[in-house]
Amino acid sequence: MLPHPDQVDGANSPDPVSTDMARIGILGVGAVGARLARQLVSTDDDQVVLRDERRNRVEVVANSLGDRATIDRGALDDPLDVDVVVLAGPARTQAHVAEQFVRRGIHVVSTTDDLTDVRALLALDQHARERNVHVVIGAGFAPGLTCVLAAHAAKKFEHVDEIHIAKSGTGGPACARQHHRALGRGAIDWRDGSWDARPGGSGRELCWFPDPIGPQDCYRAELPDALVIVPAFPGVRRVTSRVSATRRDRLTARLPMLWPTDPEGGPGAVRVEVRGRTDGRGSVLVYGAMDRPAVAAGAVAAVACRFIVEGSLKRFGAAGLAESVDSLAFLSELARRGVRAAVFEGETGL
Amino acid sequence: MKMIRRAMVAIGMGALVAAAVRLRGSGVAPPRSGGWRELSGPGLD
């Protein structure tokens, strides 16, 4: 394994990861965790160790993966003999577990899209740097793919002024519950160098996503995208994130979920609008992607694991993908796995 | 009793107005032209 040029060897650095066959622990085998396990086993020839409190579910997933998958019956934060651990469980459980694995010198990939989780994971940065450990935050559909698209778009500008994220659709039931909760809670926007708290469900904006999702009304919500994007773009003036919702979603956002969710989720999309300047002239670039959110999130997390195993991340510590990866290499690998990005070509006032 | 009735009417009217504001129509869709193209080539442009 060749270390990345930015990486510095340290006496307390974790053991090098063999690129032949890495051992990846997956904590949580819901819609995203199961897709991730499938990617790692079939595309990357890795061994996966599955851990989930739902015994039946973890057995079903492990049986579908064959010999490369094993089940571990430990608690979520119990030690695990793996090279990388992926936190794919429910929101608000990940920060404590991540801290335990960072303490043991094991790289962590988190698929969380919960604001509280992301804040707590970012707080592990110094801790992880000291141990030469990677903590990849938000390796999913949004944040995750959105961060990489923003980084890719930013390459076209000398200076990035604004980044606006929108997402539509949910993965499995846990993702749907998180989406529901987020819509009823306060949002944060980055505006002129400070965080601006705004009510969830406000700020309606009609966003065009890649076909066949098309136009969707999107609203502010308790989304963590700005938290991981702002550090990657010094000098950016505005970063916002929105999520698509129906009128029923908005009306019932502060109530418990009143209807069942699709166990596999439906089709979804992300849209990243980047405004910047080159030679003093402002312009807008809009990237997007359409896929089933759980499938895309599984692929993004799998590629993040692969980048860790191959030593391709830019730095140790806790950070989102916009800060951690080369966007071209990451998007190329995602495209190879069937998750393809698109650019909007037309008038900028969409 | 009269005061309670008035308070309940006020709360009900407030709820109706809030629901109407919450559910109001999205209006006219802004104009759009162009379309999505898959990123391709060695630079994914």
**Tens-place pLDDT, residues B1-41:** 888 899 999 999 998 888 776 666 444 344 457 899 999 98
Chain A residues touching B30 at Cβ < 8 A: 206, 349-350
Position A25 pLDDT exceeds 70: yes
| pLDDT computed for residue B21 by the predictor | 67
Of B26, B34, B44, the CB nearest to A346: B34
CA distance A156 to chain B (A): 10
Q: Do B19 and A287 touch (CB under 8 A)?
A: no
Give the residue from A222, A312, A331, A319 showing the smallest Cα distance to A272.
A331
| pLDDT computed for residue A78 by the predictor | 94
DSSP state of A18: P
Position A348 pLDDT exceeds 70: no
Cα A26 to Cα A34: distance, rounded to the nearest angstrom: 9
| pLDDT computed for residue A177 by the predictor | 85
A17 pLDDT tier (thresholds 50, 70, 90): low
Of B19, B38, B43, the CB nearest to A342: B38
| pLDDT computed for residue A180 by the predictor | 87
> Among positive and negative, which fits the CA dihedral A183, A304, B36, A172?
negative
CA distance A27 to chain B (A): 33
Spell out the domain ranges in chain B.
1-24
* Stretch (H or E) spanning A150: helix A145-154
| pLDDT computed for residue A159 by the predictor | 95
Q: Which long-range contacts (CB under 8 A, 24 or more apart) does A37-41 make?
A: A37/A61, A37/A65, A37/A69, A37/A298, A38/A64, A38/A65, A38/A298, A39/A298, A39/A299, A39/A301, A39/A302, A39/A337, A40/A302, A40/A305, A41/A65, A41/A66, A41/A68, A41/A69
Position A195 pLDDT exceeds 90: yes
CA distance A45 to chain B (A): 26
Write the CA distances from A195 to A25, A188, A237, B3, integer angstroms: 35, 6, 11, 44
Percent of chain A at pLDDT > 90 equals 77
Q: Which two tokens stand for residue B20?
A: 């109407």
A250 — contact with chain B (CB < 8 Å)? yes
Chain A residues touching B31 at Cβ < 8 A: 347, 349
A347 pLDDT tier (thresholds 50, 70, 90): low
Please report the number of interchain residue pairs, chain A to chain B, with beta-carbon separation below 8 angstroms: 60
**Picking from A7-11, A199-203, A312-316, which range would have the lowest pLDDT averaged per residue?**
A7-11
pLDDT in tens, A214-256: 999 999 999 999 999 999 999 999 999 999 998 888 888 888 8
Cα A129 to Cα A133: distance, rounded to the nearest angstrom: 6
| pLDDT computed for residue A137 by the predictor | 97
B34 — contact with chain A (CB < 8 Å)? yes
Q: What is the mean pLDDT of chain A?
A: 90
| pLDDT computed for residue B24 by the predictor | 61
**Residue to substitute from B17, B21, B44, interface A, most A β-carbons within 10 A:** B44
Position A258 pLDDT exceeds 80: no
Cα A156 to Cα B14: distance, rounded to the nearest angstrom: 50
Q: Which two tokens stand for residue A108?
A: 């962590």
| pLDDT computed for residue A219 by the predictor | 96
Position A271 pLDDT exceeds 80: yes
Between A280 and A229, residue with greater pLDDT:
A229
3-class DSSP state for residue B25?
coil
pLDDT in tens, A285-313: 999 999 999 999 999 999 999 999 999 99
Cα A319 to Cα A137: distance, rounded to the nearest angstrom: 6
Of B23, B34, B44, the CB nearest to A251: B23
Buried residues in A275-292 as b, exposed as e (16+ CB within 10 A) = bbeeeeeeebbbbbbbbb
Cα A203 to Cα A250: distance, rounded to the nearest angstrom: 12
Position A212 pLDDT exceeds 50: yes
Describe the crossing of helices A327-336 and A145-154 by its angle, rounded to 10 degrees.
Answer: 130
| pLDDT computed for residue A18 by the predictor | 54
Which value does ipTM take for this structure? 0.80
Q: Residues A138-150: what's their mean pLDDT?
A: 96
| pLDDT computed for residue A186 by the predictor | 93
| pLDDT computed for residue A141 by the predictor | 96
- Partnered with residue A132 across adjacent β-strands are none
